[in-house]
Amino acid sequence: MKTALFDLDGTLIDSRADLALAVNLTRADFGLPPKTEDEVVACIGEGMRLLIEHAIPERPDQWDAMLARQRVNYLAHCLDRTTLYPGVAETLRALRAEGWRLAVVTNKPGPLTRPILEGLGISVFFGAVVGGGDCPVLKPNPAPLLMAAAQMGATLDADDWMAGDNFTDLEAGRRAGVKRCFCRFGFGTLRGETYDHAIDSMEAFPALVKGEGR
């Protein structure tokens, strides 16, 4: 049985608008003006702590308080405008029907990840969900990937996959010894990291992993 691990933001979901809203609500809570969506999106991918530090650099003395406030603001708005990318539900359904083990491995905090998966109707497809805080380290460390596999009773090997839009996903996959699919449709950055294959929509993933889209 093969395993496919998926990043969340920029891979399964387009969450840019809600993340930007939450950051700007947090900035407003501390008397700071809003940033553009693009400015906030450039800070996403390495966990909520670094999101706050990069998106609200003006007040480092308040970062701990801002982090706590960001969790509240984001949980209140995480499903306002967040949507699945085209083909995500169909891809997950098809892979599960073919016997694949599926998991989400994200740097987004676990308590914020699970409500999103449930709200968008895709939590049922995953045998494991590992978010920020569920593992002592974040991607690009491979430990969260290994944790997800272990929770499903699997051992990762070169026939398994990590799909993501950011260097954190691809580096973690490389270090875990799995194939890496770069999701070009997302909003992450490569930062020089490599990948095995790339797709322009999630609809292409099933054919890729079955060897038909290479």
Is the pLDDT score of 211 beyond 90? no
126 Cβ neighbours under 8 A, 6+ residues apart: 92, 102, 103, 104, 117
Number of Cα atoms under 13 Å in the Cβ half of residue 82? 28
**One-letter amino acid for residue 69 of the chain:** R
According to the model, what pLDDT value does residue 21 have?
Answer: 98
Question: Residue 213 pLDDT more than 60?
Answer: no
Q: Check residue 160 and give its pLDDT.
A: 97
Domains 3-14+83-209 and 16-77 share a fold: no
The domain made up of 16-77 has a fold known as DNA polymerase; domain 1 (1.10.150)
Reported as a pLDDT band with limits 50, 70 and 90, residue 138 is: very high
pLDDT at 212: 57
Q: Give residue 182's pLDDT.
A: 98
From 7, 14, 134, 169, the catalytic residue:
7
Residue-averaged pLDDT of the chain: 96
pLDDT in tens, 151-179: 999 999 999 999 999 999 999 999 999 99
Flag whether pLDDT at 214 surpasses 80: no
Question: Is 160 noted as a catalytic residue in this protein?
Answer: no
pLDDT at 158: 96
* DSSP letter (8 states) at residue 85: P
Residue ranges of domains in the chain? 3-14+83-209, 16-77
Q: Which CATH entry fits the domain spanning 3-14+83-209: 3.30.70.3270, 3.40.50.1000, 3.10.20.600, 3.40.50.620?
A: 3.40.50.1000
